[in-house]
Amino acid sequence: MLSLVPPHLVQFEPEEQEMQVRPPHKHRSLVASPLWEGEVVILKDGSEAKDWYCAEIFKILPTHVIVHYYTTITPSLENHSSVSVKDRESRISQATFLKTWCLNKGKGPITTIPPEGIKATRDVWTGKIKIHDLQAQLLIRNVTLTAMGKLSKATAALAASLKYPHHQGA
């Protein structure tokens, strides 16, 4: 590639680029803090839901948002509301949230092992949430997951303070 700037004048090191850090926080307003594609959130799957899911905002459309759901096999604590926040945080910290696929266009087995080829994008477990329902369903924004699917300490602390337990399975 031809550059009009001499190499000795270029001050760019990719490793030194500062990433914009968005700390996790409880959801307040979509107007003050709009969603962004790729953001990981904790949300209920309906206004009457009694537990929450971890999901990635995949696509923002004018009328709805498409999310990719993550699942965990770690059960939530029984009597969630009567257990201490410290115990909830301990259990949530043990959970691993993994992207999930429902193979054969939703008719096959459910797996957290990424399939090959077109199935990797076609069979991701997705959901559509209407824009006007988001305000009531979003609980925590800017969720941080490690490469192994564990919630960060800050995210786990926020999730432990919710009155709802996490959902187990798909």
| pLDDT of residue 105 exceeding 80 | no
pLDDT for the residue 54: 95
Q: What percent of the chain has pLDDT over 90?
A: 47
pLDDT digits (tens, 9 = 90+) for 121-149: 777 888 899 999 998 999 999 999 998 99
Q: Where are the domains of the chain?
A: 24-160
pTM for this prediction: 0.81
pLDDT for the residue 3: 65
Alpha-carbon span 23 to 47, nearest angstrom:
25
Q: Which two tokens stand for residue 108?
A: 């096959």
As a whole number of Å, the end-to-end CA separation of the chain is 48
Long-range contacts at 145-151 (CB < 8 A, ≥ 24 apart): 145/40, 145/54, 145/70, 145/97, 148/96, 149/70, 149/72, 149/96, 149/97, 149/98, 150/93, 150/95, 150/96, 150/97, 151/54, 151/92, 151/93, 151/95, 151/97
Q: Across the strands, what pairs with 25?
A: 141
Whether 100 and 71 have beta carbons less than 8 Å apart is answered as yes
pLDDT for the residue 123: 77
Place of tokens 């004018």: 62
pLDDT digits (tens, 9 = 90+) for 36-59: 999 999 999 888 888 999 999 999
pLDDT for the residue 14: 56
